[in-house]
Amino acid sequence: MSRGGGGGRKRVRTARGRSAQSTRWLERQLNDPYVKRAKAEGYRSRAAYKLIELDEKFKLLKGAKRVVDLGIAPGGWTQVVRKQIPQAAIVGIDLLPVDPIDGATILQMDFMADAAPDALTDALGGRPDLILSDMAANTVGHQQTDALRTMALIEAAFAFACDVLEPGGAFVAKVFAGGADAQLVAEMKRAFTTVKHAKPPASRKGSVEWYVVAQGFKGGEEA
């Protein structure tokens, strides 16, 4: 990945009303090669490269025909899917409004709502064979509370996947603190042929985020 020209690392002065933390975040954004690459290649967020790198390792998108993007905002992962497999049907769902993406259906609703599974499968024209989730719970700054909230979200996404996935399908979700807990991993291994954790290079070194990649959904009673 090229660093580009422009005389080295950019520094940001601490402006009135801007906290030191905000200044550090802005400086990191300005010097992040993935942020620069996302702008150059038309992706809405640097997170697009996390999916690109996960796909390079696990071949997630190869052969996928119907894809669900849970927590689609701002849309970077769906953009990757559209570019890599333009023939696939893709539906994104989020509580937040998301600007349209050509070739994708976007639903503004809670994926845990009773109506969500039918709405997604109707929009896709069938059961998905790939469910992607880059969701994270809103943090409150208390590590234990944040971990519990995030784990609850992952468990809900996994339950949703078991309800709607096509046999043989795959499920990818963001997790924290080294991965999903042992009980959830055990449940995933009963429902999928393989379950692995990965930290793509685009995930910042200082970040606690990982991804769990479950492939080969068994369907039926195993799930």
Catalytic center residues = 174
Q: Which residues contact 137 (CB under 8 A, 6 or more apart)?
A: 146, 149, 150, 152, 153
Confirm whether residue 102 is marked as ligand binding: no
Confirm whether residue 103 is marked as ligand binding: no
Confirm whether residue 77 is marked as ligand binding: yes
Does residue 219 contact residue 64 with C-beta atoms inside 8 Å?
Answer: no
Q: Are β-strands 66-70 and 130-133 bridged in parallel, bridged antiparallel, or unpaired?
A: parallel
What are 44's two structure tokens?
């809405």
HSE-up of 184 (CA within 13 Å, CB side)?
A: 22
Task: Residue 118: name the closest of 160, 159, 78, 156 by CA.
Answer: 160
Confirm whether residue 94 is marked as ligand binding: yes
Category of 167 on φ-ψ map: left (φ > 0), alpha (ψ -120 to 50) or beta: beta
What are 148's two structure tokens?
């519990």
Specify binding-site residues.
75, 77, 94, 110, 134
Specify binding-site residues for S-adenosyl-L-methionine.
75, 77, 94, 110, 134
